[in-house]
Amino acid sequence: MYCLNSDYTEGCHPLILEKLQATNMEQTTGYGLDPYCDEARELIKAACQRPDADVNLLVGGTQTNLTVICAALRPHQAVLGAVTSHVNTHEAGAIEQTGHKVIEIPTPEGKLTAAQIQAAWTKYATDPSREHWAQPKMVYISQPTETGSMYSKAELEEIYQCCQANNLYLYVDGARLAYALGAPSCDMTMADLAHNCDVFYIGGTKCGLLFGEAVVILTPALKEDFRTIAKQHGSILAKGRLLGIQFATIMKDNLYLELGRKATLQALKIHDALATHGFKFVAESPTNQQFVILTPAQYDKLSEEYVLSLDAYRSDGNYNVRICTCWATLDEQVEKLIAMIPQL
């Protein structure tokens, strides 16, 4: 059985483990104040072309989201996000636990638009009883989204302009950022992203690291005392160098983007093979996650060889199935899967 159900099934890129091995008995200061974290921060700031950024290395995605949002908002402020956004779904109410409402916006393919954000803001700002409403203050988007879609550079710019015009922070969750930046159809760079939001994170856990997410804070108001608020949420790793070493490794020599590119190309290859044979998709995705509709028989057949993710039962009896490649996916397994498609 081979897993194509998620992008956190393997350990990490071999170069990382090599480096962890090489540095294992070195002694360093804890809590992210070591030279490896310094190196990682410099590499990230360079990739972002934002020498003014504050970079903080945390362990996981939910942890990062709750820490960033809690640090940014006053008690009555809320975050706007798509219904399908990770903060509104698979985080067990983490944002609410820190005291803040997630205002959910329905969106067919997981992407917010500037128009939706403007409408949500205007609805609030023009309500005569707005003093009685949670105040939208931050917009949360994911690049790529939880459903595989991707913002273009123009869409991102438009969203950020809308946020700035309405005094809203824009926060971009990049848990799978490598798979967006590495996608053939992506028209933005990490630097573009870093110039079109207030804070974002570069996902490591799903993109070749053992674990780790690099929070890049661009707007000065969000920088103050971030480390202490992270500490308060249990988000500071004692042996912080583990994060520094991993990010320093992956950010060098374009490795982060290369891993993303490889996986996305594999996913698109699977997509094209499915499309060629007439399969329909839940939604079109230009990134490493493909969401295809299968009959139970087709699913069962594929499941003899592959672990896939059965996301939902359709009313017509068919299944929504996620097929997910990652930095570690083997080309031979992709080929083998593609070879099975005509016989489904």
* Residues 245, 56: Cα–Cα separation, whole Å: 13
| Residue selected from 15, 219, 229, 281 as contacting a second copy according to rule CB under 8 A | 229
CB nearer to a second copy: give 28 or 189: 28
Tell me which of 27, 184, 278, 342 binds a second copy, using CB under 8 A: 27
CA distance 90 to 108: 18
Q: Which two tokens stand for residue 268?
A: 């698109």
Q: Please answer whether residues 213 and 202 qualify as being in contact, where contact means their C-beta atoms are separated by less than 8 angstroms.
A: yes
Part of the chain binding a second copy (CB under 8 A), chosen from 58-66, 107-115, 280-288, 296-304: 58-66
Asked whether position 210 contacts a second copy by CB under 8 A, the answer is: yes
Q: How far is the CB of 275 from a second copy (least distance, A)?
A: 26
Is position 177 an interface residue for a second copy (rule: CB under 8 A)?
no
**What sign has the CA pseudo-torsion 108, 111, 114, 116?**
positive
Measure the CA–CA gap between 279 and 337, rounded to whole angstroms: 14
Element (H, E) at 217: strand 213-217
Given 75, 184, 278, 342, the residue binding a second copy (CB under 8 A): 75
List the interface residues with a second copy, window 121-140 (CB under 8 A). Answer: 128-129, 131-135
| Strand order through the sheet with 309-313 | 281-283, 289-294, 319-324, 309-313
Q: Is 265 in the site for a second copy (CB under 8 A)?
A: no
Q: Are 292 and 279 in contact (CB under 8 A)?
A: yes
Q: How far apart are CA 30 and CA 242, in angstroms?
A: 10
CB of 60 to a second copy, least distance (A): 6
Site for a second copy in 6-25 (CB under 8 A): 6, 8-12, 14, 17, 20-21, 23-25
Binding of residue 107 to a second copy (CB under 8 A): no
The correct pick among 55, 66, 114, 202 for binding a second copy (CB under 8 A) is 66
Binder to a second copy among 60, 281, 283, 341 (CB under 8 A)? 60
Binding range to a second copy, per CB under 8 A, among 111-119, 158-166, 229-237, 291-299: 229-237
Q: How far is the CB of 152 from a second copy (least distance, A)?
A: 28
Main-chain phi, psi angles of 219, to 5 degrees: -85, 125
The count of residues interacting with a second copy (CB under 8 A) is: 79
State whether the Cα torsion 146-54-327-245 is positive or negative. Answer: negative
